[in-house]
Amino acid sequence: MRRRRLACSALIVAMGFSLLMANLLVAQEDESASRPRVMVITLNATVNPGSADFFKTSIERVENSGFDALVIELDTPGGLVDSTREIVKDFLAAELPIIVYVTPPGARAGSAGVMITMASHVAVMAPGRTSVPRIRWPGAARKSAKR
């Protein structure tokens, strides 16, 4: 009788452990499936028709390949106005978020780079970046003056 109880207890513990492990495996699969897929591209040059084309094809690829967002690592002194306008239009028409990351530290987003950064859905800057203007929200001056 005692042997039977011990065997039943061992069986219950083994089944419980198996269920726990199965739940952990399913949770891990769900977690990896829920992680966003992001494409990262880099522009470390002037803004010109070639870079405008590069951005356009990258946006199309992201939208058609199941990615969740496009991250652009940017370091540019600026460039051509027409190319900048094309890039801004493509950003504004994009179906998925475009994140501009001005990097590495000390990088700049000058002239056309400012417009590209401001047209993105999210703008992130590494420490020590230059040439990106400080953005003031409407009413911010009044709030700080009251303090």
- According to the model, what pLDDT value does residue 32 have? 56
> Which has more confidence, 5 or 134?
5
Mean pLDDT of the chain: 79
Q: Convert the pLDDT of each residue in 98-123 to its tens digit.
A: 999 999 988 899 999 999 999 999 99
Delimit the domains of the chain by residue range.
Answer: 1-32, 36-125
Kindly report the pTM of this predicted structure: 0.67
What's 113-137 look like in SS3? HHHHHHHCCEEEECCCCECCCCCCC
39 near 62, Cβ under 8 Å? yes
Is CATH 3.90.226.10 the classification given to domain 36-125? yes
Residue with tokens 């990097």: 103
Give 133's contacts (C-beta < 8 A, 6+ positions apart). Answer: 114
